[in-house]
Amino acid sequence: MTDSTPHSSSIPASGPAVGQDEWVARHAARRLMPVGPLRTVEERLRIVPWWAWLVLFIAAMSLLPVVESSGYVRRVGFDTVLYMLLALGLNVVVGWGGLLDLGYVAFYGVGAYAYALLDSDKFGVHLPTLVAVPVVVVIGAVVGFLLGLPSRRLTGDYLAIVTLFFLQLFQTVMTNGDSAFGHNLTGGPNGILRIDPLHLFGHDLTVQHQGVFAVSYFYVALGFFAVVFVALRFVNSSRTGRAWRSLREDPLAAEAMGMPVNWLKLMSFSFGAAVAALTGTLFAALNASVFPLTFYFVLLITVYTMVILGGSGSQPGVVAGALIISPLLEMLRDPGKSRIIFFAVLIGGVGLAARRSRTLGVAAAATIAFGFAVHELARAIDASWVSGEKAGGFAGAVDHWVVHPAQLASWIPPVSYIGLIAATLLVTTLHGRLRLVALVPTLYLSAFVWENVMLAKPEPARYIVLGLILIALMILRPNGLLGERRVEIV
């Protein structure tokens, strides 16, 4: 079909644009695409179909236990796959449905507890794995559906409160469930122990094999991941997936275009819950025990950070988010690795922000010089200020630069930490040369705080990092690493 009017035929659709808005629109579209070699690479990569990427990815992941014999690394690998599954499920609700589900990890808990009750000595029930897992998934979906019901007419904010309260309620019920109606239903704070391992193909999957983490669970989890990834991908490109994304974009328009918005919200909600519950079975079977506190705010924020960092709405994105955050959190437990990550991020961050290499050079040189000066000054005034030094290695090298007292006065951590926050916020408000000047002591202060305050307490320190990632992402790059650029016109 062609245009029917003489006017329009004089406006070639793909030639040079006539009319300002046309040009502006094209300009915006051009800006979306990367230019130069990056663009060619991206175009080349696009030709490879998604399933080929998936096969490649799964194959690479499967190699992990082959190249790494350490039980610890395998275990982290397994946990990472669980996180990938959790992120995929949350992506259905947040990324596609656009619903802020803050009770998500409670469904993970529902799955874990349901499996524990159906497959342990607790009540002497031992369902076969192939029955228990589907049953648990259905339970998760139904609980999700029921929780969504009262909130179905409501906007994101109300859903957020109901689901967050549900997370809290799950805690209270599981913790106090050891004396509900005079029965011990959930084991209370002590959880449920001696949960059956998965039983597939006539074998119990053992967790430990000759004292080392056995790989069977890793492969089972990877299999679950592949299935869930493909199934959700298919749903996303079906009419249901389009409807989910439509309601995320504009619920009213979606409703007017014939999509039953409330029903679709419930579906997306209960699908996310089902994936979480499925992941919960793996968790319970591997650990052979479940405790209420696993499924709480910390885990919620962790999974959210993964989804947001990777790019909510994009399946490869949220998987990448899990692949980055899960090992990162592990490495932050260890002071040695944690220190290397810190300095790498510090240098990389300044490098990215500097844009011009000269600025970067000046900042780096000034900071290094500043550090040595402060260090020497501190030594000259009171040798105990630098007495916490370690010998040799990277840590030793850093200690020749950062002031590191063996004993910290109790006022130092709060003052330096709050001072660092204030200095960082100040730097973001300054411009030009002034910013550079303020940046140097701030960088040094951050190294001081990291070495003296944060490394001593890895537990809160790594969660502080998570919180910072979330805030910084929302401000600097809300679409995450791989998410599509989003616009919203209100």
Partner 1 sequence: MALLELQGVSLAFGGLKVVHDLDLQVEEREIVSVIGPNGAGKTTLFNLITGIYRPQAGDIMLDGASIVGLEPHQISRRGISRTFQTLRLFLNMSVKENVMAAAYGHTRAGIFRSMLRTPGMRREEREIEALAHERLAFFGERLMGYRWDQPAFSLSYANRRRLEIARATATNPRILLLDEPAAGMNPAETHEITELIAKLREDGGYTILVIEHDMHVVEGISDRVVALDHGIKIAEGSFESVATNEKVVEAYLGLNTAATK
Partner 2 sequence: MDQFTQLTVDALTLGSVYALIALGYTLIYGVLKLLNFAHGDVFMVGSFIGFGVLQLLGGTDNPVVPVWALLVIITFAAMAGCATLGVVIERFAYRPLRDAPRIAPLISALGVSFFLANSMQLLFGADPRNYNTFDLSNGALYLRGIDIGNVRVPLLRIITIVAAFVLMVLLWFLVNRTRTGKAMRATSFDREAAAMMGIDIDRVIVFTFVLGSALAGAAGVLFAVRVPTTVSIGFVAGLKGFTAAVIGGIGSIPGAMAGGLILGFAESYTQGYVSTKWSDLVVFSILIAFMIFRPQGLLGRPDISKV
Footprint on this chain of partner 1 (rule: CB under 8 A): 1-5, 7-8, 11-14, 19, 21-22, 24-25, 28-29, 32, 231, 234-235, 238-243, 245-246, 249-250, 252-261, 267, 271, 484, 486-489
In angstroms, give the least distance from the CB of 232 to partner 1: 8
Helix (H) or strand (E) holding 29: helix 20-32
Give the x/- contact pattern for partner 2 in 299-338, rule: CB under 8 A. Answer: --x--x---x------------------------------
Residues 373/400, Cβ–Cβ less than 8 Å: no
Residues 251/231, Cβ–Cβ less than 8 Å: no
Strand partners for 203:
200
In angstroms, give the least distance from the CB of 172 to partner 2: 4
Residues 248/97, Cβ–Cβ less than 8 Å: yes
Measure the CA–CA gap between 181 and 187, rounded to whole angstroms. 14
- Interacting residues with partner 2 between 137 and 156 (CB under 8 A): 150-151, 153-154, 156
Say whether residue 395 binds partner 2 (CB under 8 A).
Answer: no
Of 39-47, 192-200, 228-236, 467-475, which segment contacts partner 2 by CB under 8 A?
A: 467-475
Give the x/- contact pattern for partner 2 in 42-81, rule: CB under 8 A. Answer: ----------------------------------------
Measure the CA–CA gap between 167 and 173, rounded to whole angstroms. 10
In angstroms, give the least distance from the CB of 266 to partner 1: 12
- What CA–CA distances, in Å, run from 46 to 32, 42, 59? 16, 6, 20
Strand 199-200 relative to strand 212-213: parallel, antiparallel, unpaired?
A: unpaired
Instruction: Give the residue from 353, 342, 322 showing the smallest Cα distance to 465.
Output: 342
Say whether residue 368 binds partner 2 (CB under 8 A).
Answer: no
Say whether residue 21 binds partner 2 (CB under 8 A).
Answer: no
Give the x/- contact pattern for partner 2 in 185-224, rule: CB under 8 A. Answer: ----------------------------------------
334 binds, among partner 1, partner 2, none (CB under 5 to 8 A by kind): none
Measure the CA–CA gap between 93 and 104, rounded to whole angstroms. 9
175 vs 287, which CB is nearer to partner 2? Answer: 175
- What CA–CA distances, in Å, run from 409 to 22, 398, 415, 422? 65, 21, 11, 21
In angstroms, give the least distance from the CB of 321 to partner 2: 13
In angstroms, give the least distance from the CB of 47 to partner 2: 31
Q: Give the angle 17-19-22 at the CA atoms, nearest 5°.
A: 60
387 binds, among partner 1, partner 2, none (CB under 5 to 8 A by kind): none
In angstroms, give the least distance from the CB of 110 to partner 2: 15
In angstroms, give the least distance from the CB of 66 to partner 2: 37
Q: Give the angle 346-347-348 at the CA atoms, nearest 5°.
A: 95
Helix (H) or strand (E) holding 213: strand 212-213
Say whether residue 486 binds partner 2 (CB under 8 A).
Answer: yes
Residue type, 138: V
Measure the CA–CA gap between 438 and 415, rounded to whole angstroms. 18
- What CA–CA distances, in Å, run from 322 to 77, 232, 311, 329, 375? 11, 17, 11, 10, 39
3 binds, among partner 1, partner 2, none (CB under 5 to 8 A by kind): partner 1
Say whether residue 454 binds partner 2 (CB under 8 A).
Answer: yes
Measure the CA–CA gap between 316 and 320, rounded to whole angstroms. 6
In angstroms, give the least distance from the CB of 28 to partner 1: 6
427 binds, among partner 2, partner 1, none (CB under 5 to 8 A by kind): none
In angstroms, give the least distance from the CB of 265 to partner 2: 14
User: Which residues does 86 contact at the CB level (< 8 Å), separation at least 6?
Assistant: 104, 105, 108, 275, 276, 279, 303, 306, 322
Instruction: List contacts with partner 2 (CB under 8 A).
Output: 94, 98, 100, 102, 150-151, 153-154, 156-158, 160-162, 164-166, 168-169, 172-173, 176, 179, 252, 297, 301, 304, 308, 413-414, 417, 425, 428, 453-454, 457, 459-461, 463-464, 466-471, 474-475, 478, 486, 488
